[in-house]
Structure 1
Amino acid sequence: MFDKEHIHKVIGEVIGESDFFLVEVHVTKGNLIQVFLDHTIGITVDDCATFSRKIEEKLNREEEDFELQVSSPGLGQPLKVIRQYHKAVGQLVNLTLKDDSIIRGTLESVKTSEPGTDPELIIRLAGTKKKPAPAVPVHIEIGQIKTAKIEIDFNKV
């Protein structure tokens, strides 16, 4: 079975200094390697195919056979890394906090503080027909979040 750290290293070499970034890697016992990449302006099927070829070139298939899948994280999947939050600025997000409360609103900004402290999200809460949104946005530390997803706003589609 492939070592996940080795896969991370290979992906880092392949991505290099580009604006693409690694979101997640899964390695199964059957040597299925799933790589989820993203980019600040999105990732195309051609980008995924290019990275798949480059990653495969750096892995030794003669040493151990594997199946490699490279894709985007997918719409509706939880946000995993801070760069995804930056990319989601201006979008409607659904946050489930560690205390199981739910926050729904527009992600206005992501503040990265001093090293060793959690980045903070600034969210303008979404109102409802019966209850308008508060005028002041809320501040949520990333460490308080259990899951965060971008919500598709069908009114803007």
Structure 2
Amino acid sequence: MSTTPPSERLRELLEPLVAAKELDLEEIEVSRAGKRRMLRIIVDSDDGVELDACAELSRAISEKLDETDAMGEGEYVLEVSSPGADRPLSEHRHYVRATGRLVKLTLHEDGELVARILQVDDEGLDLEVPGVKGRKPTTRRVTFAEIAKARVEIEFSRKDKKEEEA
């Protein structure tokens, strides 16, 4: 019997399939849904994830899981999706992908900050902090070590990168 935790075994099994589709495996979650289990796979890429890519990957994952005993006995529901618009930022690549987006940062010492990511490097972020009461926006540097939590803020009037390029 394997001593590797189930989520690590699933990651080892599924990561090559996800990488073959030029996607990043962000999260694997196994939970209960009534009598069945729910296997949720979250994938992403620098260009986002199309619905067709999720469907193709879902079929490939389903076939691979049917060939192995990774999910054990019993029924399960498989869901393959992208992280969503307001996803938490926890990896360097998440911040890079959020360049140009408005984010809410919870800092270890300075409370919360809502700002737009201008640039990301290995040490931290260059941000544009919106001006208050008619004042001009200011820039601010925040290191990764200062950030306790970060999340993309949903903007309803923000133009999509694809719209801007067109």
Fold match, TM over 0.5?
yes
**2:133 corresponds to 1:123:** no
- In the TM superposition, residue 130 of structure 1 has moved relative to its aligned partner by 4.3
Count of residues in correspondence between the two structures: 149
Q: In structure 2, what is the Cα distance between the partners aligned to 1:100 and 1:7?
A: 39
Q: Per the alignment, do residues 88 and 155 of structure 1 end up closer, same or farther by CA in structure 2, a change over 3 Å counting?
A: closer
Q: Retained in 2: the 8 A contact 1:110–1:120?
A: yes
**In structure 1, what is the Cα distance between the partners aligned to 2:89 and 2:146?**
13
Q: 1:139 to 1:98 in 2, by over 3 A?
A: closer
Asked if residue 24 in structure 1 is aligned to residue 27 in structure 2, the reply is yes
In the TM superposition, what is the alpha-carbon distance from 1:105 to its structure 2 partner?
1.4
- Which residue identity does 2:118 align to in structure 1? E
After TM superposition, what 4+ stretches of structure 1 lie above 4 angstroms from structure 2? none
- How is 1:76-115 mapped onto 2 (pairs within 5 angstroms)? 76-99=86-109, 101-112=111-122
Q: 1:13 aligns with which of 16, 24, 30?
A: 16
| Structure 2 counterpart of 1:145 | 148
* Consecutive unaligned residues in structure 2, runs of 5 or more: 161-166
Q: State, as a whole percentage, how many aligned pairs show the same letter.
A: 27
TM-score by length of 2: 0.76
Q: Which of 78, 82, 93 in structure 2 is aligned with 1:72?
A: 82
TM-score, with length taken from structure 1: 0.79
The structure with the greater share of residues assigned to helix is 2
Larger Rg belongs to: 2
